Amino acid sequence: MRLVMLGPPGAGKGTQGQRLAKHFNVPQLSTGDMLRAAVKVESPIGLAAKSIMDTGGLVGDDLVIGCVQERLSQDDAQRGFILDGFPRTVAQAKALDELLDASDLRLTGVIELLVDEEKLLQRIEKRAAEAVAKGEEPRADDNPDTMRKRLASYRESTAVLSNFYYNQGRLLSIDGMREVDRVSADILEALS
């Protein structure tokens, strides 16, 4: 099972991706998590990405593609994967196709979570509040200003991927505003 989760920030890609990873026993690969880990250890990639992430922009294609290429070459990813937050540009989507093509592989499908953007801001505020309640540090980019920039980045660079994958016949569009369990069930049904 090789899936891509598509949708704006706060759409539920992480939550649903995690559930799918468990269901299909494949790793969930989140480029946001990879980059946050790099920022934490102050690696060269982390140092290059930090200010861009803090302001809600997109980290350069080459850097992100390099991270994904390395991660996909690891043993556990040979069974399949759920990509969460990648690709985010057409260049990344083409690079992913080429990477898979080189091993004669294709994506199984692309799950697009359709959401009401008005409600996303509330979801992000809730996610930040939940992190605080658990005694965790909220994500630096989970605040209304950065969220607006992240949504703008999504509209400018990522939304076109719906068409890209629709044209490939791989797009599965799911109503992401329903209750979490219902969204999971709808995704599994769409995949069956």
Is 127 annotated in the active site? yes
Question: How many binding residues for ligand AMP (CB under 6 A)?
Answer: 17
> Which of 7, 8, 27, 56 contacts ligand AMP by CB under 6 A?
56
CA distance 34 to 37: 5
Q: List binders of ligand AMP among 13-32 (CB under 6 A).
A: 31-32
Using DSSP, state whether 174 is helix, strand or coil.
strand
Taking the alpha carbons at both ends of the chain, their separation in whole angstroms is 12
Applying CB under 6 A, which part among 86-94, 109-117, 160-168, 172-180 lies near ligand AMP? 86-94
Q: Which is nearer to ligand AMP, 68 or 187 (CB)?
A: 68
Active-site entry in 150, 155, 170, 182: 150
Q: List binders of ligand AMP among 112-171 (CB under 6 A).
A: 141, 150
Is 170 annotated in the active site? no
DSSP labels for 78-102? GG-EEEES---SHHHHHHHHHHHHT
State the alpha helices, DSSP H only, in the chain: 13-24, 31-40, 44-54, 61-72, 90-101, 117-133, 144-153, 161-167, 180-191
Q: Residues interacting with ligand AMP, by CB under 6 A?
A: 9, 31-32, 35, 52-53, 56-59, 64, 85-86, 88, 92, 141, 150
Return the active site residues: 13, 88, 127, 139, 150
